[in-house]
């Protein structure tokens, strides 16, 4: 019987099999990683053409004003790749709110609420599968068309850049959000890649920065509008009341310096020892600087933070730039910060929020833009419930501060240009004298009616000068639009 022959192993073939197996496992691992872990990054990559095609394959949900007026919708363009084109009927008027959606991505509400507008939100997607619909959800905003147009036209009439925000004090609902210069979001709705690139380059390079939403993305020195915060700190401290006499020299030497602070125009403030309410009404600088030195930076900072300065948790739903009260300061800097100068910074939204808090008995409500999210069949899947954001001061002090603010729009006050016959308007003017260019910003914050507040407004006009002359009429136009017959 022949002996069995030894089995010969094909070593090169085994090596090939092992290499192929390793490559197969590596390929499976890579596919798993891409599909399970890296999908979001790839979907967000602007070079991903499939994502761009999917973005415009179906109609996005509409964006509506509070009265149902459509300010963003989708129309069938009949294109092979990009079928549904976004349309913004009012163009620049609502651009700071809507933003835009394009081949490059999005901005404004279009970006912040993309999941529900596109239908990718799970609540919308499930409903679409059940009922066979393809459109995204509709957003109903809090924006009031009359207030928005009044703010837009009044600010545009100044011929200057700036922003306006109007809020319902009791709820935080944003009634108007204007930023100028603005842009036409329809320009971004083109599917011509070369044309879109040219439009984007032009708008990005525009020195007026029309793509910047100044209302929430930019902060500015608040000027004397910050005296509301300083007054709140003074009243809350228990050391001051509206009738407390405050030292008001024509010139005040800032501690530790050779610099003298003077009142606007270098004028005297009353008899040199006026009540706090008079100093507030006429917006004197030297008494508020002395109050700042007396209270100290920690007390002022605590009060500023109660109004929301320093917070980075605010979205409307677009993210909001932080309003700033400075960190460690010396006494001279503290004196200037009490006037809204030095390194104080506030967004126009914050300027409106300061008045809204006082108007609502010291309770600052969280500002918001989206009132409800509605599916194509009319089902409401989300509705904003107003919520408390900050307790800024107690009701008693808020009422005393309101009485002081009302005097600003009465004869002898700095804000008479915002007075509305038959309506008590509470307000504070501001002139930001440390603007980077050396030209003052005009600022105004107000609410009305004082006894039953329906609207609070913040106005900032870049390089506009005195707030009582330039910004106050803008605020007045917005308040009258909201109050209707009462205004």
The answer for 274, left when phi > 0, alpha when psi is -120 to 50, beta otherwise, is beta
The domains of the chain are located at 219-370+385-483
Helices of type H across 363-426: 395-407
Q: According to the model, what pLDDT value does residue 371 have?
A: 97
Structure tokens at 348: 């126009």
Mean per-residue pLDDT, 65-85: 87
> Rounded distance, CA 364 to CA 389, Å?
6
Average pLDDT over the chain, rounded to an integer: 90
Give the pLDDT confidence of 391-439 residue by residue, as tens digits.
999 999 999 999 999 999 999 999 999 999 999 999 999 998 755 566 8
> Rounded distance, CA 178 to CA 159, Å?
14
Q: Which residue has the higher pLDDT, 9 or 17?
A: 17
Structure tokens at 277: 């309410």
Q: According to the model, what pLDDT value does residue 438 have?
A: 66
Strands 138-141, 63-64: parallel, antiparallel or unpaired by DSSP? parallel
Q: Which fold has domain 219-370+385-483?
A: Beta-lactamase (3.40.710)
> Rounded distance, CA 418 to CA 411, Å?
11
Of the residues 224, 231, 283, 323, only one is catalytic, namely: 224
Share of the chain above pLDDT 90, in %: 75
Whole-model pTM above 0.75?
yes
Report CA 9 to chain centroid distance, whole Å: 74
Residue 248 in this model has a pLDDT that exceeds 80? yes
User: Using CB atoms within 10 A of its CB, is residue 331 exposed (0-12), middle (13-18) or buried (19+)?
Assistant: middle
Residue 39 in this model has a pLDDT that exceeds 70? no
Structure tokens at 276: 């706090």
> Rounded distance, CA 45 to CA 105, Å?
9
Residue 444, SS3 per DSSP = strand
How many angstroms separate the most distant Cα atoms in the chain?
133
Return the number of other C-beta atoms located less than 10 Å from residue 372's C-beta: 17
Active-site residue, 437 included: no
Q: For 220, which DSSP code?
A: B
Structure tokens at 2: 């022949």
Residue 207 in this model has a pLDDT that exceeds 80? yes
Closest CA to 468 of 242, 283, 339: 283
């Amino acid at each position: 019987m022949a002996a069995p022959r030894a089995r010969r192993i094909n070593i090169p073939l085994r090596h090939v099999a092992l290499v192929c197996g390793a490559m197969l496992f590596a390929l499976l691992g890579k596919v798993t990683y891409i599909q399970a872990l890296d999908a979001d990054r790839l979907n967000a990559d602007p070079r991903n053409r499939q994502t761009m095609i999917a973005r415009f394959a179906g109609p996005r949900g509409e964006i509506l004003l509070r009265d149902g007026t459509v300010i963003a919708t989708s129309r069938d363009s009949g294109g092979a790749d990009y079928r549904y084109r976004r349309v913004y009927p009012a163009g620049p008027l609502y651009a700071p709110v809507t933003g835009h959606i394009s081949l490059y991505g999005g901005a404004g509400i279009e970006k912040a609420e993309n999941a529900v507008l596109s239908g990718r939100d799970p609540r919308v997607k499930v409903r679409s599968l059940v009922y066979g619909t393809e459109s995204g959800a509709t957003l109903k905003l809090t924006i009031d068309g009359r207030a928005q147009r009044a703010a837009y036209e009044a600010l545009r009439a100044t011929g200057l850049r700036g922003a306006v925000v109007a809020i319902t004090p009791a709820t935080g609902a944003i009634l108007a959000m204007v930023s100028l210069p603005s842009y036409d979001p329809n320009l971004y709705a083109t599917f011509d890649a070369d044309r879109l690139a040219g439009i984007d380059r032009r708008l990005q390079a525009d020195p007026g920065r029309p793509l910047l939403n100044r209302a929430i993305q930019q902060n500015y020195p608040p000027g004397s509008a910050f005296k509301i915060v300083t007054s709140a700190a003074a009243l809350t401290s228990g050391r001051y009341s509206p009738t407390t006499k405050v030292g008001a020299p024509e010139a005040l030497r800032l501690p530790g310096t050779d610099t003298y602070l003077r009142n606007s125009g270098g004028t005297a403030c009353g008899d040199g020892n006026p009540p706090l309410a008079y100093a507030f009404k006429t917006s004197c600088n030297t008494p508020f600087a002395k109050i700042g030195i007396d209270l100290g930076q920690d007390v002022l900072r605590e009060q500023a933070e109660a109004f929301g300065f320093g917070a980075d948790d605010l979205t409307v739903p677009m993210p909001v730039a932080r309003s700033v009260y400075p960190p460690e300061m010396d006494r001279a800097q503290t004196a200037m910060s009490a006037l809204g100068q030095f390194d104080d910074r506030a967004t126009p939204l914050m300027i409106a929020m300061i008045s809204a808090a006082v108007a609502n008995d010291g309770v600052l409500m969280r500002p918001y833009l989206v009132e409800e999210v509605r599916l194509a069949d009319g089902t409401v899947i989300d509705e904003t419930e107003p919520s408390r954001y900050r307790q800024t001061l107690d009701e008693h002090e808020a009422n005393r501060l309101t009485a002081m603010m009302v005097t600003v729009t009465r004869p002898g006050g700095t804000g008479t240009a915002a007075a509305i016959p038959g309506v008590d308007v509470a307000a504070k003017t501001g002139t930001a004298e440390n603007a980077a260019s050396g030209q003052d910003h005009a600022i105004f914050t107000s609410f009305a009616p004082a006894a039953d507040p329906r609207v609070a407004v913040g106005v900032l006009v870049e390089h506009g000068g005195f707030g009582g002359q330039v910004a106050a009429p803008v605020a007045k136009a917005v308040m009258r639009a909201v109050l209707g017959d009462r205004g």
